[in-house]
Amino acid sequence: MSLGATKEVSKPRTIRQYGAINWRGLWALYSRKAVLRFLRYGLESIAGPVASSCIFVLVFVLALDGGTAMSPDLTLAQFVVPGIVMFTLAHVAFDSAAVMIIHDKQDGVIQDVLMAPLTPLEIVIGYSLGAATNGLLTGGILLVIFSVFIDLPFINPLMAIGFALGGTLLFAMVGMIVGIWSERWDHFSAAETFLVMPLGLLSGTFFSLERVPGGFEWLLLGNPMFHAINGFRAAVTGHSDASIWSGALLITGLTVILALTTWRLFAVGYRIKA
């Protein structure tokens, strides 16, 4: 190059604008880090819960006679199956959300998520919707399998979808908080054993509220899992043990509160920032 030649002036880089929401980053977090990672381990993440739930229902129904009437037009099998499906999809959503965050923390990948052009709210949305999708996918497979062998009338499909979505989002938020709080796998196991499983066992999955001894109804009525199962069961079979709309309001309120809590934890970097 001659001395008289002028140097080419490089253009200054412009900051990429994403708008109010970084849809591309949000989609990447939702699809790649949440859903695709879940599907990659389908044998244990999907086949495991589906197989165990099917065996559980089979043994339970055969042992107690699946044709036994729980109400004038509802058999034991028809009563139990919606509860099993709802609990499974909620449990998978909890497990998926917690395990994702714990893995990312231990592998140091969570720092990449925090440094990405994503707001704390977008991170919460990406993780929670991914975990909810994983739960809905597993529950949907279960429902299809059970529908082949058990007559499920599906009284209100839209309401069933609403309660399924509400239950998965609620327990996805619980799973995210547990994942953020957990520093070891022992913490996750303790939360699952002493929080999620008791909520499932005291949810009315296997028994009606009418059979609960007097004075102990509050154990079920104060349990969000009970209201999620009750609403889902009412949508599928038409049988309800409590107010459906009160349960929907409780689930919605708790989901909003836990979502705000999760957002705040990500915003301050509680146990996730190096």
pLDDT at residue 6 in the model: 47
Q: Which two tokens stand for residue 54?
A: 């099917």
pLDDT at residue 149 in the model: 87
Asked whether residue 12 carries a pLDDT value surpassing 60, the answer given is: no
pLDDT at residue 254 in the model: 97
Between CA 236 and CA 244 the distance in angstroms is 13
Asked whether residue 210 carries a pLDDT value surpassing 80, the answer given is: yes
Between CA 77 and CA 29 the distance in angstroms is 39
Summary count for the chain: helices (H), strands (E): 13, 2
- Note whether 212 and 230 are within 8 A (CB): no
Asked whether residue 3 carries a pLDDT value surpassing 60, the answer given is: no
Residue for token pair 């049988």: 239
How many residues are given for the chain? Answer: 274
Per-residue pLDDT band for 67 (boundaries 50, 70, 90) equals: low
Point out the least confidently predicted range of 64-78, 145-159, 198-212: 64-78
pLDDT at residue 69 in the model: 61
Read off the pTM. Answer: 0.89
Between CA 66 and CA 105 the distance in angstroms is 45
Q: Which two tokens stand for residue 187?
A: 């913490």
Q: Which two tokens stand for residue 138?
A: 């597993």
- Note whether 188 and 197 are within 8 A (CB): no
